[in-house]
Amino acid sequence: MVTEQAVHPHQEESACCSSGETGRKSHHSEQTKNSLINRLNRIEGQVRGIKGMIEKDVYCDDILNQIASVQSALNGVGKLLLEHHMKSCVIDRIQEGDTEVLSELLATMNKLMK
């Protein structure tokens, strides 16, 4: 008999999504979760900084550069989350025979690339 660990060696460290009573949920490793939260906390601070710049009538070009920086940081969070999603959730669901995950993934990637 093959154990779950042998079939999914990445599951314990980077398991992502699973179905529960209330729908699918993410189950990231503590390291991944902390990395995502730290990045989002920095982004949140950047957004508050932009708000302060607008309140202080800072030169528009400087504000626009900060907005570009926030957008880049959000893209980085999205890339990291997408990578973990593909390496765990998507693989797991395909191995379970759920090919609908590919359509879901393509729709999500199209939204991210807009």
Q: Is the pLDDT of residue 2 over 70?
A: no
Tally of domains within the chain? 1
- pLDDT (average), residues 59-85: 96
On whether residue 16 sits in a domain, the answer given is no
Q: What count of other Cβ atoms lies within 10 Å of the Cβ of residue 88?
A: 24
> Would you state the pLDDT for residue 90?
93
Q: What's the CA dihedral at 104, 108, 109, 110 to 10 degrees?
A: 100
Residue 25, H or E segment? strand 23-26
pTM score of the predicted model: 0.74
Residue 54 maps to a domain = no
- Which tens digits make up the pLDDT trace of 22-64? 567 777 789 989 999 999 999 999 999 999 999 999 999 999 9
Q: Which range of residues forms the domain containing residue 78?
A: 60-114
Q: Does residue 71 form part of some domain?
A: yes
Locus of tokens 């993934």? 105
Q: Is 24 inside any structural domain?
A: no
Give a yes or no: residue 21 inside a domain. Answer: no
Residues 51/42/18/23 CA torsion (nearest 10 deg): -20
Q: Is residue 106 part of a domain?
A: yes
Indicate the average pLDDT of the chain.
84
